[in-house]
Structure 1
């Protein structure tokens, strides 16, 4: 396919907050490819709370209209100028984008790329609506969210967002299960492996049992951690967590202020050596830092409102010896880490099928509502 030929398709266009009914499935046209870009036919795309978080308040990342989605999987339809090592029809999983040349990227920390915000949040004008005055040569709808904007049947992705799937793709239908690897699954697993450097001697607590938290929990089990504490407010998630390897399950609603004491009671009175928060909820963040054992590691993964502030007593923090780490995308190099995760699945130690629920793209509203209500862990849209 020519890189200069506009492509038609469908996309979930965000024209305002989801809760105001401003996400609609629309016909769109995609602009021609630019340097280091590929056109991808999306087969499946996972829905993440991050899509809702930024989609509901996009004023600081370029505004509306825009296309969200950052857990895509599909096949390459066309190559832009300068793209090497890929071919048309190659299967790919999509993840975040990075420059590859800044000091952080060169050091193997692409999720902290100095251009991360520009490449992943602000977007570029990519899509056009047939019902507006825009055109493929003058698009009016932002794309390339996390380098991909995969809430679309066809999308443009930056080459740095591509994870070659040929080495581990057994059947074309595997792309459905592979979509969430590009964010949620690598974030949870990578935060345990890379950010916390967890070992078999560690005791682990996970706050929040969405796809990220459950991926972290399954990883802790695979490592062989003797104590794995699952913390959530939904009984169904706590039950699932125990099926996946949690040794203890604590309901925050039932325990209230007694959560910290309950956690310490099952960790020899000192607290877990690794604590991971995926909730972004300040009271739980404060509690988690508090019950992390001295010289332990606390990892913040959950997204908060930018105005949320955490206060720490400097002397107490110094004396505790605790490490407080912020982690993005599991501190992963996606093209290296995702194949590793897929290998875990093939071995049976990372049962992602228990997390994923498929939805037709026409039912995206029900998929979002089910996720927000806690009825499903990881909804995946089928295009």
Structure 2
């Protein structure tokens, strides 16, 4: 029997019905084939995208094994794997084909097959790698990994090698949420020295953006949220100003702090009315990036002349425009130097408490849950 045909017993968290809790179940996963690697998952971040897919904002087929911020140790490799080895520590990130025009240009987050590879519920041909004990398929390949599991398969191009002296149980969120916030600032918006930046939302993504803006040299960094504890943490992480949007007019406050408008902004809440505020508070030639994911079909309104006459821009951003093989190790290095302390955002839970972690995240009690696995 080939390695790819062998089935390994695993434990998984499964979503079986829309808006229903995760269930902890036993399953089986095949071994790696072609350019795949099999990873023993040490820990996986719980991301907002996992929860909106659980609730079917995006129509990923169910039942499904989600999880897309995995980190662990390679246990087996397929015959076409070139650079990774058994025993390597890796962070799992989003899937991309690697050869379409966007991928070839260094923009894998805009891969022509992005939706199929990350939200399709299986391989592009419809097959899955995970099955329940009765042999029934479970939809998987979520973000090319499905890491709410004791073992996960990914391709070599979305398994990012990281130093073995870095705490692997902490690093999973670098594969999506942390990468998204930091990359939006550094790669997409290109926030520069002496500039002004506003983060609409001080969750894990928004606070990652705050930390990145500090690294990038912004001198006015504004965090906007409704939770006082998040705003306090934002100040600790580098925000020069904080705004509680329940207490003041956000647009007036941002204009007052910046002397007329902010140069760069990021919207991570997924709320249309917040995006509208962010657009209104831009300076001339200002740009706002959008990373918050609402339900499909959500629309926002703005005065077209506010964009036209001021030369303002709205920019959609996926995964922080990052080249993960380059950017994730850079974030690890910044963390090890004490310049990007994203560990202050996290709280650990065992996999069996995934529903408590999800509830705490939804209520804003925990910024970034990480599930310890195995």
Which TM-score band (shorter chain)?
Answer: over 0.9
Describe the SS at the equivalent of 1:273.
Answer: strand
Cα distance, 1:359 vs structure 2:
0.8
How has the CA–CA distance of structure 1 residues 320 and 112 changed in structure 2, closer, same or farther, with 3 Å as cutoff?
same
CA-atom RMSD, angstroms?
A: 1.5
Structure 2 residue aligned with 1:338: 328
Match status 1:175 vs 2:168:
yes
- Contact persistence 1:3–1:79 (CA under 8 A): no
Cα distance in 2 between the residues matched to 1:303 and 1:329: 12
The 5-angstrom pairing of residues 73-88 of structure 1 reads: 73-88=71-86
TM-superposition CA deviations, 1:230-280 (whole Å, max 9, x none):
10011110111011111111111222xx11101111111x11100100001
- Contact persistence 1:3–1:78 (CA under 8 A): no
TM-superposition CA deviations, 1:166-204 (whole Å, max 9, x none):
xx2216xx1111111101111111000111011012101
Describe the SS at the equivalent of 1:286.
Answer: helix
Structure 1 residue aligned with 2:129: 126
Cα distance, 1:31 vs structure 2:
2.6
Cα distance in 2 between the residues matched to 1:76 and 1:156: 10
- Contact persistence 2:52–2:58 (CA under 8 A): no
Describe the SS at the equivalent of 2:331.
Answer: helix
Cα distance in 2 between the residues matched to 1:58 and 1:219: 29
Match status 1:143 vs 2:140:
yes
- Contact persistence 2:306–2:312 (CA under 8 A): no
Cα distance in 2 between the residues matched to 1:314 and 1:235: 34
Stretches of structure 1 lacking an aligned partner (at least 5 in a row): none
Match status 1:311 vs 2:301:
yes
Q: Select which of 236, 243, 246 maps to 1:243.
A: 236
- Contact persistence 2:53–2:59 (CA under 8 A): no
Give the stretch that moved more between structures: 177-186 or 52-61. Answer: 52-61
- Contact persistence 1:96–1:160 (CA under 8 A): no
Match status 1:91 vs 2:82:
no
Cα distance in 2 between the residues matched to 1:345 and 1:220: 14
TM-superposition CA deviations, 1:289-330 (whole Å, max 9, x none):
111111011100111111112334444322110121110000
Q: Select which of 243, 247, 263 maps to 1:273.
A: 263
TM-superposition CA deviations, 1:115-157 (whole Å, max 9, x none):
1111111021221111x4x2xxxx5101110010110001111
Cα distance in 2 between the residues matched to 1:274 and 1:84: 40
Runs of 4 or more above 3 Å deviation: 311-316
Structure 1 residue aligned with 2:9: 8
Cα distance, 1:356 vs structure 2:
1.2
TM-superposition CA deviations, 1:332-379 (whole Å, max 9, x none):
000100111111111111111211111111111111111111111111
Match status 1:20 vs 2:20:
yes
Structure 1 residue aligned with 2:53: 54
- Contact persistence 1:44–1:179 (CA under 8 A): yes
Match status 1:260 vs 2:254:
no
How has the CA–CA distance of structure 1 residues 250 and 369 changed in structure 2, closer, same or farther, with 3 Å as cutoff?
same
Cα distance, 1:58 vs structure 2:
6.7
Describe the SS at the equivalent of 2:361.
Answer: helix
Stretches of structure 2 lacking an aligned partner (at least 5 in a row): 123-127
Cα distance in 2 between the residues matched to 1:287 and 1:331: 24
Structure 1 residue aligned with 2:149: 152
Structure 2 residue aligned with 1:112: 110
Cα distance in 1 between the residues matched to 2:105 and 2:245: 39
- Contact persistence 2:57–2:294 (CA under 8 A): no
Q: Select which of 285, 294, 297 maps to 1:295.
A: 285
**Number of paired residues?**
367
Cα distance in 1 between the residues matched to 2:302 and 2:355: 40
